[in-house]
Structure 1
Amino acid sequence: MAKKKILIFAHYYHPDVASTGQILKDQAEGMLDEFDVTVICVVPSYIGTIEDKYKTQKYHFEEINGVKIIRVRVPEFTKGSKVSRIKNILAYFFGALGAARKAGKQDYVFTISQPPILGGLLGVLGKWLKHAKMIYCIQDYNPEQTMAVGYFNNKFVLSCMMAADKFSCYHSDLVITVGRDLVQTLVYRFKGKNVPNHVMINNWINEKEIYPLTAEHEQVLAFRKKYSLEDKFVIMYSGNIGLYYDLENLMKVIEKFKPGTRTTDNREVVFAFVGAGSVLDKLVHYVREHHMDNVIFIPYQDKEDLIYSLNAADVHWCVNAKGIKGVSCPSKYYGIAAAAKPVLGVLESGSEVRMLIEETNGGLVSEPGDYVAVEENIQRFLEDAGSGKVVQMGKSGHDYLVKNLTKDVSIKKYIEAIKNL
């Protein structure tokens, strides 16, 4: 019997380092036993630049590990420029619709909430175009996310965005959210009436790619040496250095821990930021201006090297700005737990990842905006360093993850939810 076909609108996909791109690669490959999978995405461009080989043709066809891929050519962009980002996103939207016509018959169309609003609309249009059932996976709610961080304030435009995304939800055969708090937002959007068919499935990490390594591991040591982290107590932020994380204010808290600050086991404290994003330049400027020599910035790591950078930290930040509860779920948590590292969380009560951290005793958490509590939690980690408490937090989070939040567990849930439509 021929497999049913599923078309995935992914926006970003491997080798792009966007977290959703990595998750969708795992998902697409994990569903191959049950479905014939085609992915429509942009050419590799998450950091804004594009290789010359992708600039000549409108569509690029390839296959990776059994997944058919149609890549859409888009213009380069600057993360700090709204105009260039909008041009990039619109090029993907219209290019993806054209690519869908080349994808042949499909039984299911799967889309995510990226790009904001347009991801959902792609799913609806794809559903109509292919006469298929639509699955809408909401990683982030918009316009709620936009409103939460004050990125855009035009009430008319925001109301149009809300109407458009509710339209996408309404026309979905299944809405999948990635957190318990995101389920509540879906119910709230529809005021508890005629709520679309929905299910909650946690994001995950590929535990075969990210797992605990000892501090003495050769490549962990090499990473530490490369960035002068040997014998230091490293508090790391790894991922998108963007708008939704209140990093500019958290940098002011970090400033209170002056260069030369040491833990109780006499290690010098270093704050490492690994990644890139729209507020990176502001953070770099602030650090230079205030002579914060114990703060370093490290470029994005290749996927195959991520295991070494994650394991090079003693503690990892996992943060969201105030108002993000029920709107977005920071998937970086899963990588932190997979590496068995404790979490320095700045997350709202009742948000999915905060509940996971609290339920597993996997770290210390405070409310966004409570900078006194953030400072106190950093100080607690410094005082407990070397006592075994810090290591045990990381182990607790890891033990829960390998039982409940692995790739195989979550992908099986996706397969069953889709087959039951």
Structure 2
Amino acid sequence: MSSEPTEHLLVTEYFHPDTASTGQLMTDLAVGLKDRGLDMTVYTGQPNYHSGENERQPSRSLHEGVSVRRIGAPQVRQSSMPRRLVNWALFTAWMTVLLLFERVERDRKVIFVTCPPFLPAAMWFVCRVRGWEYTYVAYDLYPDEPVELGYVPEGGLVHRLWERLDRQAFRDAEHVVALGPVMKERIAAKLGPSADPEKIEIIHNWEDEDFITPMAKTDNWFSEEHGLTDTFTVLYSGNIAEFHDLETLVGAAAELDDREVQFLIIGEGDNKQRIIDLAEEHGLRGDSVEFLPYQPWDDLPYSLTSADVSVVAVKEGFEGIVVSSKLYTAMAAGQPVLVIAQDDDDEARIVDQFDAGISVEQGAVEDAAAAIERWRTDPQLVERQGTNAREAFEANFVKDTAIDQYYEMLAPTAQSKVVA
């Protein structure tokens, strides 16, 4: 057995300079754990989030002291679900073969995240063969997500096999990370009554409190450039996927079409064209509903603070399957948050707990419109809930708080080091 420090290997499809939220979070995590004293290595792929727009990176490099190895798995442009499936399969297979057969000189513990969806089952197999301990970080639950979306028939062979493998991956993990209480409940239900719920840690995602800070629209060049300064503005910024219920938001925009309210939807995704078509059906596109593509990284502190209210939307049935990282960004921006979700979803619980916004159920178009109209006519409510959002964010969801929790979980003597 080697006397060198244990290597903590983070396996993730996305890493710097990928602009996917998972890439940003995994970069923060690896660098933060390295800074706290863990020997960190990252195995990842080439940047490919925005259809391969990022420049190709060297196969081996250092990022802020973290050793990064990029595998050579072939990629196709991620412009559709079938193409993403190809990338996911190639990445998972390539990484599996590499980890099964590479020579390792010292003790290793593996940390992996559910990107791509097939990775947990593959890493469970690898770690079982190699005798490595591992930590399973659940950013999404599979096969729950494709079953809810109708891609995988519930109760079919694929569903049952995938569920069995995923359950075993949870059971054999040294640690399991859930992003909220509802997600923890779903994982515990998967494991059954014989499993130890104590090994499921709740560690929320985060935002960099120095990168996103509240900003008045009158001081924001992005608000000025897009004509938002003098108009009450509702912002959705991020992935426009099938599990994001923006249909309710567009419905609310139609209800408020005769009011001075501007809706700005920034981002890309499989469901974007459907949302554009819906806005056009209501005669809203180019008028009260505007669409923009993803914004450059350096512009995000301005685009994300350019509105009066931010939106987080989750499709019904996804309670505990996903927890939107947009919630923490919206709270960091110091804006009230309109959460479109079930009352008992993690996102709704948080904004209700801290009086940081208003939650409405999916499809409740009139309730969403009423919430926006209430904010529009009550600037004091906007200010109070926006202040509450930022204060709750600073107390609970900043980067250092989350990474300290990971460190305490992963390092045997972490508590004394963190306090010191």
Using the size of structure 1 for normalisation, the TM-score is 0.89
Q: Is the 8 A contact 2:182 2:346 kept in 1?
A: yes
Q: Using the alignment, how far apart are the partners of 1:304 and 1:108 within structure 2?
A: 34
Indicate how the Cα distance of structure 1 residues 70 and 129 shifts in structure 2: closer, same or farther if over 3 A, else same: farther
Residue identity in the other structure for 1:343: V
Deviation of the 1:175 alpha carbon = 0.8
1:311 alignment partner, SS class:
coil
Is 1:36 matched up with 2:36? no
Given the alignment, which residue of 293, 304, 311 partners 2:298? 304
Task: Name the Cα RMSD after superposition.
Answer: 2.2
Q: Distance in 2 between matches of 1:231 and 1:181?
A: 39
1:274 Cα deviation (Å)?
1.0
Q: Evaluate the alpha carbon distance shift between residue 31 and residue 51 of structure 1 in structure 2; reply closer, same or farther with a 3 A threshold.
A: closer
Deviations 1:119-164 (A, max 9, x none): 2123323424653210001111112222333343352222222112
Contact 1:109 1:126 in 2 (8 A): no
1:351 is displaced (CA, Å) by: 2.0
Does 2:214 match 1:212?
yes
Contact 1:274 1:300 in 2 (8 A): yes
User: Retained in 2: the 8 A contact 1:211–1:339?
Assistant: yes
What does the per-residue CA deviation read over 1:77-125, in whole Å, with 9 as the maximum and x for residues that have no partner? 344x332111111111122234445584452100112222x12123323
Residue 418 (structure 2) aligns with? none
Alignment of 1:3-402 (within 5 A): 3-32=5-34, 33-50=36-53, 53=56, 60-72=59-71, 73-79=73-79, 81-100=80-99, 104=104, 105-116=106-117, 118-128=118-128, 130-153=130-153, 155-195=156-196, 197-217=199-219, 220-221=220-221, 223-258=222-257, 261-262=259-260, 269-292=261-284, 293-384=287-378, 387-402=379-394
What residue is the counterpart of 1:266 in the other structure? none
Name 2:416's counterpart in structure 1.
none
Distance change in 2, residues 1:51/1:367 (3 Å): closer
Q: Aligned letter for 1:408?
A: D
| Aligned residues with identical type, % of pairs | 25
Q: Is the 8 A contact 1:206 1:407 kept in 2?
A: yes
Distance 1:229 1:99 in 2: 50
1:389–1:84 distance in 2 versus 1, CA, 3 Å:
same
**SS of the counterpart of 1:63?**
strand
1:371 Cα deviation after fit: 2.6
Paired residue total: 403
Does the 8 A contact of 2:47 with 2:56 survive in 1? Answer: no
Deviation by residue 1:233-253 (Cα, 9 ceiling, x = unmatched)? 110001101110122343233
What does residue 417 of structure 2 align with?
Answer: none
| Partner SS for 1:245 | coil
Whether the 8 Å contact between 2:171 and 2:191 is mirrored in structure 1 is: no
**Cα distance in structure 2, aligned partners of 1:394 and 1:66:** 37
Q: Where does the alignment leave 5 or more consecutive residues of structure 1 unmatched?
A: 263-268
Q: Give 1:49's aligned amino acid.
A: G
Cα offset, 1:226, TM superposition = 3.0
Q: Do the aligned partners of 2:134 and 2:173 also contact (CA within 8 Å) in 1? A: yes
Q: Is this contact kept in 1: 2:218–2:229, CA < 8 A?
A: no
Gaps of 5+ in 2: 414-420
Q: Say which is worse superposed, 239-248 or 363-372, in terms of deviation.
A: 363-372
Deviations 1:310-354 (A, max 9, x none): 110110001101111121111111111111111011122222221
Q: Is contact 2:255-2:366 (8 Å) kept?
A: no
CA distance in 2, matches of 1:151, 1:202: 28
Q: Is the 8 A contact 1:253 1:371 kept in 2?
A: yes
* Contact kept? 2:218, 2:224, Cα under 8 Å: no
